[in-house]
Every structure is written in C-alpha cells, then in structure tokens.
Amino acid sequence: MTPPAIVFTDWDGTVTLQDSNDYLTENIGFGRPKRLEINDDILDGKISFRDGFRKMLDSITTPFPECIEYLLKHIKLDPGFKEFYQWCAAEGIPVIVVSSGMKPIIYALLENLVGEEAIKNIEIMSNDVVENHPSAPGGWEIIYKDPESDFGHDKSKSIREYLAKNGYTDSSKLPLMFYCGDGVSDLSAAKETDLLFAKHGKDLIKYCIREGIPYTEFNSFADIFAKTKAIVNAGGANIKDYIEN
C-alpha cells in the first residue's frame, strides 16, 4: 500500500537543535573558528565535504563512548519533531533519517530524545564508525557510506536506494516526497524530492538561492508539520503555494 507521503530528513541541526558533530568539534575538538573556516572552504568548493568533515572529526581525541555521553547531556530535540513524527506514524508516512553523522550517535540521541519506539519505526541511512582503531585520534574513525563521493554520504543516492528497495520504480506513481535539511551535507539531496524544507539562516538556503533550487523555509518542525499536513490533506494539489525561490 502506497503511503500518502515519505519524509526524508537530515538529523543534526534539523531534528536536533544543535549539530552533534559541530558541537563535538567546537567544544572538544579544534574549536569554532577553525570549524567555520573549513565550512566556508566547503561552501566555496575549495575542499570536499568528505575531507573537511574528516578534518573536523580528526581533531576530537576523546574516546567514542565519552563523546556519546557528552552529546546525551547537551544535545536537544527540535520541540516540534516528536508531534510531527507521531502524526506521520498515525498517517502511515515513513520518516527516514538521511544523515552525514554516525549511526551509533544518532541511535543514542533518537532513543534519548524521542523514545525507544522511534528506533523501531525510523530508518536511519548514515555513515558509521569503527572503534578500537589503533592509529585514529581518540581510537575511533568515521566510516563513510559512500567513500567515493565528495560528500562521504551521497544523500541523493540514499534516497534513490530507499525508493528502489521499497518498490517505488515507477516515477509516475511516487508518493509525495519531502526533504528537511539545514547545511552543506544536504546539498546532494536538495533536488531529489517534491519539496525541500531548508532551515532559516543556515547554509542550505544560501546554496539554494545561489543555485536557483526551489525550497520552503522553516524555523522549527512545527512549521514543517503545518505545511506537510496541509499538502498531504490536499493530495499535493497546493504544493506550489509553498515553493520559494
């Protein structure tokens, strides 16, 4: 049975209020000024996201379990996400996390912030991590889902993989598709769905404006919830009313 919609969403800085990887880099890695410098280089095309992100993570020498404990104490959930997720579950709308973060961190935060039930219902497509790595800083290292990609995780590829795996092979019979994101790791997914939700004041909007990619702005998941609900209830007939740029 085809669902009325599918929601793909970034995790860090989108579902959570803080980006957990940025938070680690700024607080127990080489700090905010260096992180912002690398972020600007990524946006300007001087370095790939994959290589810039690895530089950030390599600056963190804290053991991985301690990193998770640190994040559990400091990372907060977007206040509108839980209600949005519960509505999606009731409506039979899959919510798929498509993240450039690492699965163990996302699982730990998802269980802590949303609940154990969410782990069973929300599929996570992301990078992974190897622990007990003898030569890596802190003894752990990110394992990219798509190491050949400049993004490390090509989110557009993951979206297509999800659709193929679930039998959505006829492009004329696809359900409504939404993507929610905020930053440079979302650039590869920006053109893949019917409507892109881009977070106010973040890098993804700068990219969309520069590249002429349609989007709709959001401040919190309460905005996403209201717009998604209205579009789903209208069967997608009003989706153009929400497109900016």
Which domains does the chain show, CATH number per domain? 5-17+79-242 (3.40.50.1000)
CB 160, CB 177: distance < 8 Å: no
What is the pLDDT averaged over residues 42-64?
93
pLDDT in tens, 211-230: 888 999 999 999 999 999 99
The pLDDT, as a whole number, for residue 124 is: 97
Model confidence at 74, pLDDT cuts 50, 70, 90, reads very high
- In this predicted structure, the answer to whether residue 170 has a pLDDT above a threshold of 90 is no
Which residue is catalytic, options 10, 154, 186, 223? 10
Q: Which two tokens stand for residue 126?
A: 């992301």
Can you name the residues that pair with 125 across neighbouring β-strands? 98
Say what the pTM is: 0.94
- What is the rounded average pLDDT for all residues in the chain? 94
Q: Which residue has tokens 């919190």? A: 220
- In this predicted structure, the answer to whether residue 137 has a pLDDT above a threshold of 90 is no
Going from the C-alpha of 28 to that of each of 23, 32, 101, 151, the distances in angstroms are 8, 10, 17, 24
What is the pLDDT averaged over residues 105-117?
95
Give the strand pairing for 123-131 and 140-143: antiparallel
Query: 58 CB contacts (<8 Å, ≥6 apart)?
Result: 136, 137
What is the pLDDT averaged over residues 193-201?
95
Which residue is catalytic, options 12, 78, 194, 203? 12
Model confidence at 76, pLDDT cuts 50, 70, 90, reads very high
| 154 counts as catalytic | no
Q: State whether residue 9 is helix, strand or coil.
A: strand
Question: Of the given ranges (38-42, 185-189, 194-198, 213-217), which has the lowest mean pLDDT?
Answer: 185-189
- In this predicted structure, the answer to whether residue 133 has a pLDDT above a threshold of 90 is no
What is the pLDDT averaged over residues 226-242?
96
Q: Out of 44-48, 162-166, 210-214, give the one with best mean pLDDT.
A: 162-166
The pLDDT, as a whole number, for residue 121 is: 93
Going from the C-alpha of 46 to that of each of 10, 39, 93, 171, 244, the distances in angstroms are 24, 10, 39, 35, 28
Query: 19 CB contacts (<8 Å, ≥6 apart)?
Result: 12, 13, 182, 183
pLDDT in tens, 36-46: 999 899 888 89
| 12 counts as catalytic | yes
